[in-house]
Structures are given as structure tokens and as C-alpha cells.
């Protein structure tokens, strides 16, 4: 029973479970069950990636996340496993799915698949103490009560009490301290997401996601800097919109295609970020919870994933934020877009890392240019002013999983911005079309899983937000002509602790500190605190 409790944890991996299987004595009654059936583990044939059971469990893990032991939260099903290892993974899925069944989250065809697996590995599951009768009892119930046998409704609601604090608002590098105070009123905000997940063939997914929110960003209007923004912010005055619509399907055994009609960024497209504390509803509180290279672009597009569970894999993505506009200079190929290619290297369950290149093109047609999506200083967002800008982005990200409970992670990136329109059109800028600017950023962090409580996550992040380190364009400041660069260095320090109240409610207090905001040592330190409550159903 101790093993079953361990394997039910979110951080359980197959390898971790195997350690306990090999080191735990089988109770007398369980030994009696196996007597006369199995005399040696060697009599059990291994489970290979070509077996039906392998692909069946893979599909359950991908859809319901019932094995999350690897730091990038995927089940790397490309290795041969013993039946004991496989049964440990299946048992972890059973524990998770028992809860999801009661919440009406499971598709009937997936239940049928799970029942077949449970019967095939009945002997091994008996050793682990798993009970599978409950699954069969629920099939008839679901057939009578599901509003559809192909679609499940998932919901996520955030309530957040937040505030930004500091002496004075930040100003750009090279300027004296502002005389404007930080807008430090405490706010109570929300974000609501409802997702309809539909599968027609068991391996495909059609997702429609509705969103409403009223979380005003702690950006330049509040603190003078976008470095203080929260990862779940955004204000639509609680207007309900479709903010995600895609169809994902496999193409053979190694390739997955995703077609996007609406998407808000590359992280929604299956591209691993190698950060176990991704920004959003449940993990890091800031926008800097993963590398800014993944925040390029949005809109309609295409994503291709190759061998996602293998030692070597790859992702290719293309998003066009003006892809729904047929006007001149817009559309899928003539307007704003971002393209990304990533090589994924996952040699084992301890070390995973990615090498990433992205290319972006952004114009002020739909608002202000926001190079690297407002994760750094104001100067990094618009190196040449609010004009069309091309970007070449290079990044590396890695995670080291020291144990099922501790991960070290980090990322670093370099971007080069290129002016596509002449900055001469901006009053205080001097330069020419084709001018270039260089940006650099990095971060390291620690993640602690199940700290003090099962299902909890504590995170710590330290790094340098994107900084403009070289720029060919100059600007006039106080009658002086100077390079438009960040002179000093900002530092980002973030800590949070997520703990579950129930299976569906989690509370995350978090604190963010920005030293020398806007890469200007003349600015006072800025602070952001939040208590985020997440409801999932």
C-alpha cells in the first residue's frame, strides 16, 4: 500500500516506482495470489514500444497526464519495459483516473482502453494493490450521464488578490528617477477558461477554449516596467471570447500535426519549455516562468511534432497573427508572423534540454510592437521605436531532475532585432533601415515537488530579464545624443508555493522582486505579491 501511495503522487515516474517494487516485500496474501502462476520475474515478457499496451498507455498519459514523473511532463514511451515497470505506470494512471471518473472527465473509449489494460496486467496490478472493479462499474454510468461520448468539458478559474509596491515608478535606462508613485492599490481579479475537448478517433483532439478575464497588468502604467507583470494577467473586461481553437492528430507513429484557427502562443502547441514551473494558472506567478523565446507571435498556424517521446525529437511551428486578415500586407504569409524550430534532447529521465531558433516579424498594425512580448525593459520591447521589426532568436533550455522531488532548470537566450522601417520617422531617433540591436537574458531555478504536502510545488527563480546590450540606433535625451541601450542590469527574484486544498482547489502565494528595474540603477526596487486560488473542474 505504501508503493501505491507513492505512485499516486504527481511526481511518480516508472523508474521511481520500480525501485519500490524491487525493494518492497509482497504481503502474504498477495504472494498467495501469485503462487503457482509466476515463479520468476524472468518468465514475464517485456513490453516493447510496438505492443498495443504501450500505445494505449501512451494515449492515456498524453490526454490525462496521469504519469508526470519526467520534468517536461511527458511519458517517453520509446524504451522497452518489464511488465513490472509497465504495471507501475498503469497503476499510477489508475489512481489518477479513478478521481477523474468521478468528475466526469473521462471519455468512454478511454475507459474501455483502460479496462482492457487492467485485465491484461491483472496479476501485476494485484501485487501493487490496485483495484480495477470500480472502472467497469462506471462505464454504464457514463453512458447514461455524459452529454456526449466524444467531448469532455474542462474548466479553470483563477481568483487572485494582488498588489504591486515600491517607492517610485521605473523609467528607462539612463534617466533620473521618476517622480511618479507606484499605483499600489490591492486588486481582486479573475480569469475563467472553459475548454471543450473532443476526440473522434481516440488519438486526435479538437479543442475549443473560451476565456474571460479582468486582470489588469502590473505594467508600465502601474510600476513603469513590464518586468512586474503576472503570468496570468490580461484584461478583456470579462468579455467571453474564443482564445484557442485547434485540431491535433497523429500522422503515423512518430509525427503529430496541429492545425490552429486561434492560438495565443507557442506554448499551447506542444513545444516543451523545459521549465517545470511554467507561468500561468498553477505554477510561476510572473511572465518570466519560462524562456521568452516561446512568447513569440500568435494567431492561426501549424505545428509539427516529431518523435516527442524519443531521445531525440523536434518541433516546428508557424503562427501568423494577421492570418485571418485578407487586407494587403496581411494574411498568413505577408503580415506579422513567428516561426520556431526546436531540437529536443532527452537522453534519460534525469536530463532533458532543448536548442531553439525562432524568427519573428512584427508591425504596429495591431498596436504597439512588443519584441519578446513585454518580458524585458521598455527598450527591449521597441528597440527602434514603434516600427516594423524582424527578430532572430536563439535559446537553450534545460532541466535536471535530481530526484522525483527536486529539479534544477534554467534558460538563456540571445536575440537580434532588425529595423525594417527607417527610424528617422521617429522624432528623437537617429538611424536607418536595417539597423540592428542585440538582446540577452537568462534565468535559473529550483522546483520542489510534494514539499510538506502531496501535490504541492515550491519554486524559486533568479535571472536577468531581457536586456538591450547593443543598438545601432541613437536617440536624443535631454539634448544629448546617446545609444538607445540598457546601461545597468535588472535582476528578477521570484518565489511561490502551491498547495492543494482539495483535488480541485489549489492556493498559490507568491512574491516577485525586481532589482534595478528597467536596467536602471536609479530606479527603486519593485515588489509584486499575489495569492492566487485556482479551481479546476
Residue, of 487 and 126, whose pLDDT is higher: 487
* Bridge partner residues of 410 (DSSP): 398, 444
The HSE-up count of residue 521 (CA atoms within 13 Å, CB side) is 3
pLDDT tens, residue by residue, 46-61: 677 777 888 788 777 7
> What's 301's domain CATH number?
2.40.160.10
Note every long-range contact of 363-372, with CB atoms under 8 Å and residues 24 or more positions apart, other chains counting. 363/335, 363/336, 363/388, 363/420, 364/388, 365/322, 365/329, 365/330, 365/335, 365/336, 366/321, 366/322, 366/336, 371/415, 371/417, 371/439, 372/292, 372/295, 372/296, 372/415, 372/439, 372/441, 372/466
Please give the average per-residue pLDDT across 57-75, as a whole number: 63
Task: Among 122, 145, 168, give the residue marking a domain's end.
Answer: 145
Lowest mean pLDDT among 1-5, 289-293, 358-362: 1-5
Instruction: Return the minimum-mean-pLDDT range out of 152-166, 310-324, 325-339.
Output: 325-339
| C-alpha–C-alpha distance, residues 365 and 482, integer Å | 28
pLDDT in tens, 195-204: 999 988 878 9
Instruction: State whether 194 and 331 are in the same domain.
Output: yes
Full residue range of the structural domain in which residue 120 is found: 2-145
185 lies in the same domain as 314: yes
178 compared with 511, residue with greater pLDDT? 511
Minimum mean pLDDT range among 371-375, 443-447, 457-461, 509-513: 371-375
Taking residues 93-101, what's their average pLDDT? 72
Name the grid cell of 441. Answer: 537574458
Q: For the residues of 452-497, what is the DSSP string, one character each?
A: SSTT-EEEEEEEEEEEEEEES-EEEETTEEEE----S--EEEEEEE
Q: Which residue has the cell 516508472?
A: 14
Measured over the CA atoms of residue 431, residue 432, residue 433 and residue 436, the dihedral's sign is negative
CA distance 279 to 445: 13
131 and 160 belong to one structural domain: no
- 450 to each of 5, 10, 19, 287, how far by Cα in Å? 13, 8, 18, 24
Per the model's pLDDT, the better-predicted residue between 424 and 464 turns out to be 464
Of residues 508 and 66, more confidently modeled: 508
Q: Which of 191, 184, 186, 146 is nearest to 167 (CA)?
A: 184
**pLDDT value, residue 136:** 58
Q: Are residues 178 and 120 in the same domain?
A: no
Average pLDDT for 153-175: 93
Tell me how far CA of residue 237 lies from CA of 162, 212, 233, 241, 361, in angstroms. Answer: 17, 8, 12, 11, 29
Angstrom distance (rounded) from CA 179 to CA 142: 62
Of the residues 87, 118, 145, the one at which a domain ends: 145
For 233-251, how does the pLDDT look when each residue is reduced to its tens digit (9 = 90+)?
Answer: 999 999 999 989 999 999 9
pLDDT of residue 134: 57
- As a dihedral over the C-alpha atoms of residue 340, residue 344, residue 349, residue 351, rounded to 10 degrees, the angle is -90
- One domain, residues 178 and 138: no
Least confident segment among 362-371, 383-392, 397-406: 362-371
Per-residue pLDDT at 25: 33
CA-nearest of 446, 498, 404 to 14 is: 404
Q: How confident is the model at residue 421 (pLDDT cuts 50, 70, 90)?
A: confident
The C-alpha cell at 286 is 510572473
Q: Are residues 63 and 158 in the same domain?
A: no
pLDDT at 375: 92
Looking at the structure, tell me whether residues 355 and 395 fall in a common domain.
yes
**Helix (H) / strand (E) containing 91:** helix 83-102
Residue range 127-140: mean pLDDT, rounded: 60
**Confidence at 429, pLDDT banded by 50, 70, 90:** confident
Question: Are residues 247 and 182 part of one domain?
Answer: yes
Q: Are residues 287 and 411 in the same domain?
A: yes
The reply to whether 225 and 113 lie within a common domain is: no
Quote the number of domains for the chain. Answer: 2
Q: What is the mean pLDDT of residues 346-366?
A: 90
16-30, 79-93, 99-113, 177-191: which has the minimum mean pLDDT? 16-30
Please state, in angstroms and as integers, the Cα–Cα distance from residue 306 to each residue in 68, 255, 258, 314, following that order: 20, 5, 12, 5
pLDDT of residue 434: 87
Residue partners of 459: CB distance under 8 A and separation at least 6: 276, 277, 283, 284, 445, 446, 447, 448, 494, 495, 496, 497
pLDDT tens track for 247-282: 999 998 899 999 999 877 655 577 889 999 988 788
> What per-residue confidence (pLDDT) applies to 94?
77
Please state whether beta strands 234-235 and 301-306 pair in parallel, antiparallel, or not at all (unpaired): unpaired
Query: Residue 77 above 90 pLDDT?
Result: no
pLDDT tier for residue 399 given thresholds of 50, 70 and 90: very high
Range with the poorest average pLDDT among 20-29, 154-163, 168-177, 492-501:
20-29
3-class state of residue 392 by DSSP = strand
Mean pLDDT throughout 218-222? 94
State whether 226 and 309 are in the same domain. Answer: yes
pLDDT (0 to 100) of residue 396: 97
Q: What is the pLDDT of residue 128?
A: 66
Calculate what percentage of the chain has a pLDDT beyond 90: 49
* Mean pLDDT score, 131-151: 61
Q: Residue 218 has which C-alpha cell?
A: 502590473
Q: Is 170 found in the same domain as 138?
A: no
Residue ending a domain, choose from 123, 145, 167: 145
**In the structure grid, which three cell numbers stand for residue 335, read together?**
503580415
How confident is the model over 506-521, as pLDDT tens digits?
999 999 999 999 999 9
What's the pLDDT score for residue 43? 37
Per-residue pLDDT at 280 = 79
Q: Give the closest residue to 234 by CA, choosing from 216, 219, 222.
A: 216
Mean predicted confidence (pLDDT) in 82-107: 73
pLDDT-based confidence at residue 310 (cuts at 50, 70, 90):
confident
- Contact call for residues 178 and 216 (beta carbons, < 8 A): no
Whether residue 6 is predicted with pLDDT greater than 90 in this model: the reply is: no
According to the model, what pLDDT value does residue 266 have? 57
Q: pLDDT above 70 covers what percent of the chain?
A: 80
Query: What's the mean per-residue pLDDT of the chain?
Result: 82
Residue 5 has pLDDT above 50, yes or no: no
Across 188-207, average pLDDT: 92
pTM of the model: 0.75
Question: Residue 63: is its pLDDT beyond 80?
Answer: no
According to the per-residue pLDDT averaged within each range, which of 71-80, 119-128, 339-348, 422-431 is highest? 339-348
Amino acid at each position: 500500500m505504501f508503493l501505491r501511495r507513492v505512485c499516486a503522487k504527481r511526481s511518480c515516474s516508472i523508474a521511481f516506482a520500480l525501485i519500490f517494487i524491487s525493494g518492497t516485500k509482497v504481503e502474504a496474501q498477495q504472494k498467495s495470489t501469485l503462487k503457482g502462476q509466476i515463479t520468476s520475474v524472468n518468465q514475464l515478457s517485456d513490453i516493447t514500444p510496438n505492443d498495443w499496451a504501450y500505445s494505449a498507455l501512451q494515449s492515456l498519459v498524453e490526454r490525462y497526464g496521469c504519469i508526470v514523473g519526467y520534468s517536461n511532463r511527458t511519458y517517453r514511451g520509446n524504451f522497452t519495459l518489464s511488465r513490472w515497470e509497465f504495471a507501475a505506470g498503469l497503476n499510477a494512471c489508475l489512481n489518477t483516473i479513478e478521481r477523474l471518473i468521478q468528475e466526469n472527465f473521462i471519455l468512454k473509449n478511454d475507459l474501455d482502453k483502460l479496462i482492457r489494460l487492467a485485465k491484461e496486467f491483472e496479476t501485476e496490478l494485484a501485487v501493487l494493490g490496485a483495484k480495477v472493479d470500480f472502472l467497469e462499474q462506471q462505464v454504464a454510468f457514463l453512458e447514461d450521464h455524459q452529454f456526449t461520448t466524444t467531448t469532455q468539458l474542462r474548466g479553470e478559474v483563477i481568483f487572485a488578490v494582488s498588489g504591486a509596491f515600491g517607492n517610485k515608478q521605473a523609467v528607462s535606462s539612463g534617466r533620473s528617477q521618476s517622480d511618479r508613485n507606484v499605483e499600489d492599490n490591492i486588486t481582486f481579479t479573475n480569469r475563467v477558461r472553459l475548454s471543450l475537448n473532443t476526440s473522434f478517433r481516440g488519438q486526435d483532439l479538437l479543442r475549443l477554449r473560451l476565456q474571460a478575464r479582468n486582470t489588469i497588468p502590473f505594467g508600465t502604467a502601474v510600476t513603469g516596467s513590464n518586468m512586474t507583470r503576472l503570468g496570468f494577467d490580461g484584461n478583456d473586461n470579462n468579455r467571453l471570447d474564443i482564445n484557442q481553437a485547434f485540431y491535433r492528430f497523429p500522422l503515423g507513429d512518430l509525427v503529430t500535426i496541429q492545425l490552429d484557427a486561434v492560438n495565443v502562443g507557442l506554448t499551447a502547441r506542444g513545444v516543451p519549455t523545459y521549465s517545470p514551473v511554467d507561468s500561468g494558472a498553477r505554477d510561476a506567478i510572473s511572465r518570466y516562468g519560462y524562456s521568452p523565446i516561446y512568447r513569440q507571435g500568435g494567431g492561426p498556424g501549424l505545428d509539427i511534432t516529431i518523435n516527442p517521446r524519443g531521445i531525440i525529437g523536434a518541433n516546428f511551428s508557424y503562427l501568423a497573427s494577421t492570418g485571418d486578415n485578407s487586407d494587403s500586407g496581411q494574411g498568413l504569409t505577408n503580415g506579422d508572423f513567428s516561426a520556431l524550430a526546436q531540437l529536443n534532447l532527452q537522453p534519460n529521465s534525469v536530463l532533458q534540454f532543448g536548442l531553439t531558433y525562432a524568427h519573428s516579424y512584427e508591425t504596429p498594425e495591431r498596436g504597439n510592437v512588443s519584441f519578446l512580448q513585454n518580458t524585458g525593459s521598455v527598450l527591449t520591447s521597441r528597440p527602434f521605436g514603434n516600427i516594423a521589426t524582424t527578430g532572430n532568436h536563439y535559446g537553450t533550455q534545460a532541466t535536471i531532475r535530481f530526484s522525483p522531488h527536486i529539479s534544477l532548470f534554467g534558460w538563456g537566450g540571445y536575440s537580434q532585432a532588425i529595423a525594417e522601417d527607417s527610424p528617422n520617422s521617429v522624432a528623437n531617433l537617429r538611424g536607418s533601415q536595417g539597423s540592428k540591436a542585440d538582446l540577452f537574458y537568462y534565468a535559473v531555478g529550483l522546483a520542489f515537488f510534494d514539499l510538506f504536502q502531496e501535490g504541492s510545488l515550491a519554486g524559486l527563480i533568479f535571472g536577468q530579464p531581457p536586456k538591450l546590450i547593443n543598438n545601432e540606433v541613437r536617440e536624443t535625451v535631454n539634448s544629448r545624443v546617446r545609444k538607445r541601450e540598457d546601461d545597468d542590469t535588472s535582476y528578477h527574484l521570484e518565489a511561490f508555493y502551491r498547495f492543494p486544498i482539495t483535488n480541485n482547489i489549489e492556493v498559490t502565494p507568491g512574491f516577485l522582486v525586481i532589482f534595478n528595474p528597467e536596467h536602471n540603477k536609479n530606479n527603486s526596487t519593485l515588489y509584486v505579491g499575489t495569492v492566487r486560488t485556482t479551481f479546476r473542474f
